[in-house]
Amino acid sequence: MSDAGTVYTAAVIGAGKAKDEGFIKGGGHRIGYTHGETYGRNDRTRLVAVADINAENLRAYQESFDLEQGFADYREMLAVVQPDIVSICTYVGLHRQMIVDACRAGVKGIICEKPFLAAPVDLSVVAEAAEASGTKIVVPHMRRYFPAFARAKELYTGGEIGEPLLCIAGIPGWDLSEWGSHWLDMFRFFHDDQPVEWVFGQARVRGQRGYGHAMEEHAVAYFGFVNGGKAILDGGMKMAGEWTMTLVGTTGTIRIRREDELVIQRADGQRTESYTDHPGSSYPAIWNYLLADLITWLDGGEEPMLGLTNMLKTSELNLAAYLSALRGDRIDLPLVSDLSEWPVEVLARRQLSQER
C-alpha cells in the first residue's frame, strides 16, 4: 500500500484494556489496538500518540506500539501533538465531546467507533462541528467491505430473488447498538442507502449495563424504507442463539452465514457461494479498505460510504428505534427530538420504577 502522497500522523483516544482477555462483552475488546495496527499497515499513516485515562492501559499501548507520546488527557494530546487523524475508541457516551474537541483542535480526519452517537441532539452537534472545521469523519461499520455482504446486496437489488421484500436479522446476546448498529447499517446498505421513512421499536430494559450504558434484555425494531423495502432486527442481551441475516424476495431468499458465505434459495433450487478464501474476507483487509477510503477523502477525493453523511443516518436508525419504544409510537424520519441522553437509560429508569 505504498503511495507518494502526504503521510498523515495519527493518534488514538482510548487505548483499550491492557490485557487481551479474548472476545468479551461490555468493554475490554481493545478496538484501539485494531486501529493502531491498521495505521501501522498503511504507508500513508504513522501512529504517533495515544491518550487514555487509565495508566495501565496507556502504558501497555505505548509499549505495544513503541510510542513515546502518551497522555492521560486527550485534550492535551490534541493540543501538543496536533495529529492529522484521530481514532476515537472509547464508549459511545464520550464520542460527541471528543469529536467536537478534535474538530476544534484542527484534526483533519476522525475514525470514531460505533455506536456512533449516544443521543438525538448529538446528531446535529456533530454535523455542525464537522462542517465548521471541515473535519472528515468515518465510522467503522466495515462489514460493507466484506465481499459476501457486497455480493448479497448485488443479488438482492439485482433481482436474483425477485422483488426485495424484507431484510430480517437476529442479534441474540447483543443489543441494537453495540453489535446491532452494524446490522442496522447493513439494512441501509442492502437498500442502497435510501432514506428510511419510519421506525417502530420496542425494548425490555432492566439493570444490565455495558460500555457505560444501559443495555436492553430484548428489543425489536422495524424499519420502512421510502422505496417500500422493510427490515426487522430482533436482539437483546438475554436472548440466546446465533446471529442471523436473511434477505427475503418475492421468489426466494439469501441467507448470510458467518460473514463469508451466502445460501441462495429459489424455486429452481439452492446454491451456496463461499467467500471464505477471498482475500477481502479478512478483518485486516476490511480495516485497510476503511483507512484507504478515509485517506482518499482527506486527499480531496469523494466522501466514502462510511463517511459522516451516511453514518449519521445509521446512527439515527439506532436512536429512532429506542425513541419509538420510549414514546410508544412510530417515529417518522428525519428524527426530531431534543433528548440529550442515551434513550435506553430513560427506558431503564421507567421500566425499573414500574416494576417496584
Ligand X SMILES: NC(=O)c1ccc[n+]([C@@H]2O[C@H](COP(=O)([O-])OP(=O)(O)OC[C@H]3O[C@@H](n4cnc5c(N)ncnc54)[C@H](O)[C@@H]3O)[C@@H](O)[C@H]2O)c1
Cis preceding-peptide flag for 115 (omega within 30 of 0):
yes
Grid cell at residue 312: 449519521
Give the residue from 342, 335, 349, 282 showing the smallest Cα distance to 124: 335
The 3-state DSSP class for residue 225 equals strand
- At 279 the three-state DSSP class reads helix
Q: Does 140 bind ligand X (CB under 6 A)?
A: yes
- Using the rule CB under 6 A, is 136 a contact of ligand X? no
The single residue among 122, 178, 185, 316 that binds ligand X, judged by CB under 6 A, is: 178
Nearer to ligand X, 214 or 264 (CB): 214
C-alpha cell at 161: 430473488
Report in angstroms how near the CB of residue 109 gets to ligand X at its nearest.
16
**Residue closer to ligand X (CB basis): 93 or 147:** 93
CB of 274 to ligand X, least distance (A): 23
Question: Please, which of residues 19-78 interact with ligand X by CB under 6 A?
Answer: 27-31, 51-54, 57, 74
- What is the three-state SS of 39-73? HHHCCCEEEEEEECCCHHHHHHHHHHHCCCEEECC
Residue closer to ligand X by CB (options 14, 36) is: 14
Q: Which region, judged by CB under 6 A, interacts with ligand X, from 12-20, 200-208, 242-250, 267-275?
A: 12-20
Establish if 90 lies at the interface with ligand X (CB under 6 A): yes
Tell me if 92 contacts ligand X by CB under 6 A. yes
Can residue 120 be called a binding residue for ligand X (CB under 6 A)?
no
# of chain residues touching ligand X (CB under 6 A): 26
Residues 6+ apart with CB under 8 A from 82: 105, 106
What is the number of other CB atoms lying within 10 angstroms of the CB of residue 321?
27
Residues at the site binding ligand X, with contacts judged by CB under 6 A:
13-17, 27-31, 51-54, 57, 74, 89-92, 94, 113-114, 140, 178, 211
